[in-house]
């Protein structure tokens, strides 16, 4: 993978980003031969279109990248990223004079993200990509840290479950802790019962791979930020077994854990002045003689009882114990991230990350940040009138209300019961790019993390 900027060099090839309406003005400043070449080849500056213009010695003298028109850019992100794989090898220097609508930082990040390739199981190496000198005014260290965090998230999700179970997810967290001098504690197997994490144990006990709670902590000063990520490394659905067609992508059901580890990498690399805690309940939801059953009533860490009406609604169960633990430390902000419901995908599709919060200022800060860094999110409501839907009567809570209405909202309301006094934000992400797009190849993807990173200084008064 090539996800860093190229060293500055006086020989860097000028790379002109050109909006389609500005094409004539942009070509007018080029040498006559370059203008003629662009017109002869029919360059139109459509989104992602590239043109390498040769010099007198046959080498690339400059290159043009089309950025389309406003309506084209509203349909995509990272206009420059689309061109990276199409440019001849070399080192380029970005010129946005003819694309004033583009943001240099966003486009430079898109370039880095376009260097990601998951090749672990391929016999061939990734193809070389063109390099980019960091544009003037862009913080290279920040963008490279963000790209590295995103690469971590993508790779964790992309790795198949035979090589990414609870053990391997723990190993990834330990590697992050070692890299940044964080502490890590893991409660595993039957010790979960002794330490009062009954829901995590119940969901994971049927697997041959022991369930566990991963607890990473770093920093001793600043506001307390706790990230909680769903780490269901594979979800069969349990005794409410998924059909085969619904099981094929379940390696990504630890996408919430992958997201919070990627975000933690960014926070630690950039040395945000926070007391960071990352909690990951890591389990495999399997089927065996001791699997938890529909109709069981379980008691969570905080004493609330839960009627199990569907063993395939297990993510909220493991998160419940982790959220209860998180709130015992009185954090300033708790954020959970999970590939939690299909209802969220029905509501907003795979591209948007729905989030929930009761804090209006946090919602506004996050939405503004998401627009600034091209990491789209969409607020859904903690809708109090639906609280009755998660109250079955026989127990305090129902993990899978009947009827199918408002599935993402009722799941979020369920989780809020385990952080009742906290300043709490929840993300119901998809964690998967179903088809390739600029800077986002098909496969695992981070959602909401870059927006959060951008918003945290305002949210936490850093």
Q: What angle do CA 19, 23, 27 make, to 5 degrees?
A: 130
pLDDT at 162: 98
Average pLDDT over residues 100-121: 95
In a domain, 404, yes or no: yes
Q: String of b and e for 406-432 (b: at least 16 CB within 10 Å)?
A: bbbbbbbbbbbbbbeebbbbbbbbbbb
pLDDT at 89: 94
Note whether 215 and 113 are same-domain residues. Answer: no
**Percent of the chain at pLDDT exceeding 90:** 91
pLDDT above 90: residue 277: yes
Note whether 96 and 163 are same-domain residues. Answer: no
Note whether 162 and 40 are same-domain residues. Answer: no
Looking at every residue in the chain, the average pLDDT score rounds to 96
In a domain, 292, yes or no: yes
In a domain, 31, yes or no: yes
Alpha carbon 54 to chain centroid distance? Answer: 40
The strands making up 297-299's β-sheet, listed across from edge to edge, are: 297-299, 305-307, 397-398
Summarised one tens digit per residue, pLDDT across range 301-331 is: 999 999 999 999 999 999 999 999 999 999 9
Catalytically active residues are 242, 316
Note whether 91 and 209 are same-domain residues. Answer: no
Note whether 183 and 93 are same-domain residues. Answer: no
pLDDT above 80: residue 242: yes
In a domain, 147, yes or no: no
Give counts: helices (H), strands (E), the chain: 16, 19
Contact 356, 340 (CB under 8 A): no
**Which of the listed residues 83, 101, 131 is the one where a domain comes to its end?**
131
Note whether 188 and 76 are same-domain residues. Answer: no
The pLDDT confidence band at residue 143, using thresholds 50, 70 and 90, is very high
Contact 445, 431 (CB under 8 A): yes
The pLDDT confidence band at residue 82, using thresholds 50, 70 and 90, is confident
* DSSP string of 227-252, one letter each residue: EEE-EEEEE--TTSPPPHHHHTTGGG
The pLDDT confidence band at residue 178, using thresholds 50, 70 and 90, is very high
Range(s) of the domain holding residue 263: 153-459
Note whether 71 and 117 are same-domain residues. Answer: yes
CB proximity list for 154: less than 8 A, separation 6 or greater:
116, 118, 258, 443, 444, 445, 446
Number of domains in the chain: 2
Note whether 65 and 202 are same-domain residues. Answer: no
Query: Which has more pLDDT, 185 or 125?
Result: 185
CATH number, domain at 230?
3.40.630.10
pLDDT at 404: 82
In a domain, 139, yes or no: no
The pLDDT confidence band at residue 56, using thresholds 50, 70 and 90, is confident
The pLDDT confidence band at residue 2, using thresholds 50, 70 and 90, is confident
Summarised one tens digit per residue, pLDDT across range 347-403 is: 999 999 999 999 999 999 999 999 999 999 999 999 999 999 999 999 999 999 988
CB proximity list for 9: less than 8 A, separation 6 or greater:
91, 133
pLDDT at 74: 87
CA distance 138 to 346: 37
Query: Which has more pLDDT, 303 or 404?
Result: 303
In a domain, 61, yes or no: yes
CA distance 412 to 178: 33
- The H-or-E segment that residue 85 falls in is none
* Backbone torsions φ then ψ of 148, nearest 5 degrees: -65, -40
Note whether 303 and 452 are same-domain residues. Answer: yes
The pLDDT confidence band at residue 1, using thresholds 50, 70 and 90, is low
In a domain, 66, yes or no: yes
Q: What is this structure's pTM?
A: 0.97
* Backbone torsions φ then ψ of 39, nearest 5 degrees: -70, -35
Average pLDDT over residues 230-259: 97
CATH number, domain at 106?
3.40.220.10
- Give the pairing type, strands 424-428 and 353-357: antiparallel
Q: Maximum distance among all alpha carbons in the chain?
A: 82
Lowest mean pLDDT among 3-7, 29-33, 113-117, 213-217: 29-33
Note whether 78 and 190 are same-domain residues. Answer: no
Note whether 411 and 283 are same-domain residues. Answer: yes
* DSSP code at position 440: B
In a domain, 282, yes or no: yes
Note whether 293 and 171 are same-domain residues. Answer: yes
pLDDT above 70: residue 340: yes
pLDDT at 281: 99
Average pLDDT over residues 251-264: 98
Contact 399, 309 (CB under 8 A): yes
């Amino acid at each position: 993978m090539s996800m860093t900027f190229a060293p500055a060099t006086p020989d860097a090839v000028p790379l002109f980003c050109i909006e389609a309406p500005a094409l004539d003005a942009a070509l007018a400043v080029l040498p006559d031969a370059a203008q003629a070449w662009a017109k002869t080849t029919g360059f139109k500056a459509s989104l992602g279109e590239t043109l390498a213009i040769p010099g007198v010695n046959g080498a690339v003298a400059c290159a043009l990248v089309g950025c389309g028109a406003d309506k084209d850019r509203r349909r995509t992100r990272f206009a420059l990223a689309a061109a990276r794989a199409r440019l001849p090898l070399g080192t380029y220097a970005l010129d946005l004079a003819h694309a004033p609508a583009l943001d240099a930082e966003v486009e430079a990040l898109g370039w880095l993200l376009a260097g990601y390739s998951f090749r672990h199981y391929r016999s061939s190496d990734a193809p070389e990509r063109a390099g980019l000198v960091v544009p003037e005014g862009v913080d290279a260290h920040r963008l490279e840290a963000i790209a590295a965090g995103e690469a971590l998230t993508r790779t964790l999700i992309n790795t198949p479950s035979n090589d990414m179970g609870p053990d391997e997810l723990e190993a990834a967290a330990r590697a992050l802790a070692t890299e940044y001098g964080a502490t890590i504690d893991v409660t595993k197997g039957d010790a979960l019962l002794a330490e009062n994490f009954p829901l995590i144990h119940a969901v994971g006990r049927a697997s041959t791979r022991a369930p566990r709670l991963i607890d990473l902590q770093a920093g001793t000063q600043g506001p307390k930020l706790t990230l909680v990520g769903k780490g269901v490394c594979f979800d069969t659905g349990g005794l409410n077994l998924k059909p085969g067609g619904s099981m094929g992508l379940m390696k990504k059901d630890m996408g919430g854990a992958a997201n919070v580890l990627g975000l933690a990498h960014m926070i630690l690399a950039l040395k945000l002045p926070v007391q960071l805690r990352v909690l990951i309940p890591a389990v495999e939801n399997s089927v065996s003689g001791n699997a938890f059953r529909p109709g069981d009533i379980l008691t969570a860490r905080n004493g609330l009882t839960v009627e199990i009406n569907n063993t395939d609604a297990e993510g909220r169960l493991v998160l419940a114990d982790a959220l209860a633990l998180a709130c015992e430390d009185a954090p300033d902000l708790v954020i959970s991230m999970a590939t939690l419901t299909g209802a969220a995908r029905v509501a907003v599709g795979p591209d948007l990350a729905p989030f929930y919060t009761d804090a209006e200022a946090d919602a506004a800060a996050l939405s503004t940040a998401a627009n600034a860094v091209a990491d789209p999110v969409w607020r859904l409501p903690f809708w109090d009138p639906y609280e009755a839907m998660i109250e079955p009567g026989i127990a305090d809570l129902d993990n899978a209300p009947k009827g199918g209405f408002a599935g993402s909202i009722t799941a979020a309301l369920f989780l809020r019961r385990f952080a009742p006094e906290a300043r709490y934000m929840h993300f119901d992400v998809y964690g998967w790019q179903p088809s390739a797009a600029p800077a986002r190849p098909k496969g695992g993807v981070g959602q909401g993390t870059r927006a959060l990173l951008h918003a945290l200084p305002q949210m936490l008064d850093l």
